[in-house]
């Protein structure tokens, strides 16, 4: 039992969730390592939503509202940490949800499907009983995507994605939105919009912003997306990391 007064209470609570998900088979062992990498950057960023993460969330919300075929891609970490929030966001956007796993096994797909169904999701793509289409530029099982889902989507929200897949999705012409605490990961640098924040804060912020922008005119939404510069935003995250810590290391 972690005491609420512990300075790392929130972080330790998330760690417990991730370990539990691993024990239940929802998460691969490497999913715990990926979480550890995320924790490192969260620590460096002060474990709070930065002003530039808010900017990225606004651009992401605008892009998702403008999309004709938006989709939210879910992996083990996402299912472990924010299943209800993902379903809520998908409902607000009228977006589909697709299970997309780096270490795919039928058992893990079935478990994640169950987690999402328990969270209220109705029509889940990326399961094993549907027709698949191959994403160009990827090899083996990782090239597979749902024919009705990511394959035909114009805008893909894919938190915690691997760099290879992110590159292939952008090359195939999709607008790629990611959530990634490491501002220097290949995915963060490749995506059109990178929200450098913890998924547990980013998804609720996205829900709120989608609601706020829900009645905005398409021209206004286009303007928000157009004025967003991902490279600049990533630079701002790096500056925040430096500025937060530089005083502490000065002699």
Select from 179, 221, 224, 240 the one that contacts ligand ATP (CB under 6 A). 179
Instruction: Note the Cα 18 to chain centre separation in Å.
Output: 16
- 156-180 b/e with 16+ CB inside 10 Å = b? bbbbbbbebbbbbbbebebbbbbbb
Q: Between 38 and 70, name the residue whose CB sits nearer to ligand ATP.
A: 38
Closest approach of Mg ion to the CB of residue 163, in Å: 5
Residue owning tokens 């009228």: 94
Q: Is residue 180 near Mg ion by the rule CB under 5 A?
A: no
Phi-psi region of 46 (alpha: psi -120 to 50; beta: other; left: phi over 0): left
Select from 193, 199, 206, 225 the one that contacts ligand ATP (CB under 6 A). 199
Phi-psi region of 223 (alpha: psi -120 to 50; beta: other; left: phi over 0): alpha
Dihedral of alpha carbons 197, 199, 200, 203, sign? positive
Nearest to 33 by CA among 182, 158, 140, 155: 182
Q: Is residue 50 near ligand ATP by the rule CB under 6 A?
A: no
Taking the C-alpha atoms of residue 80 and residue 20, their distance in angstroms, rounded to an integer, is 8
User: Which of these segments, 66-74, 93-101, 155-163, 237-245, binds ligand ATP (CB under 6 A)?
Assistant: 155-163
Q: Is residue 162 near Mg ion by the rule CB under 5 A?
A: yes
String marking each residue 122-161 x if it binds Mg ion according to CB under 5 A? ----------------------------------------
Q: Considering CB under 5 A, how many residues would be counted as binding Mg ion? A: 2
The entry of Mg ion, ligand ATP, none that residue 199 binds, CB within 5 to 8 Å by partner kind:
ligand ATP
Binding site for Mg ion (CB under 5 A): 162-163
Binding site for ligand ATP (CB under 6 A): 34-35, 37-38, 41, 77, 81, 160, 162-163, 179-182, 185-187, 198-199
């Amino acid at each position: 039992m972690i005491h609420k007064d512990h300075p790392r209470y929130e972080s330790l609570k998330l760690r417990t969730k991730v370990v539990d998900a691993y024990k239940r088979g929802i998460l691969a062992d490497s999913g715990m390592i990926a979480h550890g990498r995320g924790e490192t950057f969260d620590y460096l960023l002060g474990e709070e939503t930065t002003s530039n993460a808010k900017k990225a969330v606004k651009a992401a919300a605008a892009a998702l509202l403008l999309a004709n075929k938006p989709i939210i891609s879910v992996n083990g970490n996402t299912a472990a940490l924010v299943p209800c929030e993902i379903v809520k966001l998908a409902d607000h956007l009228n977006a589909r949800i697709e299970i997309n796993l780096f270490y795919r096994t039928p058992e893990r797909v079935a478990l994640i499907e169950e987690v999402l169904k328990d969270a209220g999701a109705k029509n889940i793509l990326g399961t094993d009983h549907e027709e698949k289409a191959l994403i160009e530029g990827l090899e083996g099982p990782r090239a597979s995507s749902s024919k009705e889902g990511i394959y035909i989507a114009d805008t893909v929200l894919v938190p915690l994605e691997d760099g290879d897949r992110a590159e292939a999705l952008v090359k195939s012409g999709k607008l790629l939105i990611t959530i990634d605490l490491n501002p220097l990961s290949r995915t963060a640098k490749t995506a059109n919009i990178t929200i450098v924040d913890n998924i547990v804060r980013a998804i609720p912020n996205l829900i709120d912003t989608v609601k706020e922008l829900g009645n905005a005119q398409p021209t206004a939404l286009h303007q928000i997306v157009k004025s967003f510069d991902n490279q600049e935003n990533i630079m701002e995250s790096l500056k925040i990391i430096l500025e937060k810590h530089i005083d502490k290391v000065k002699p």
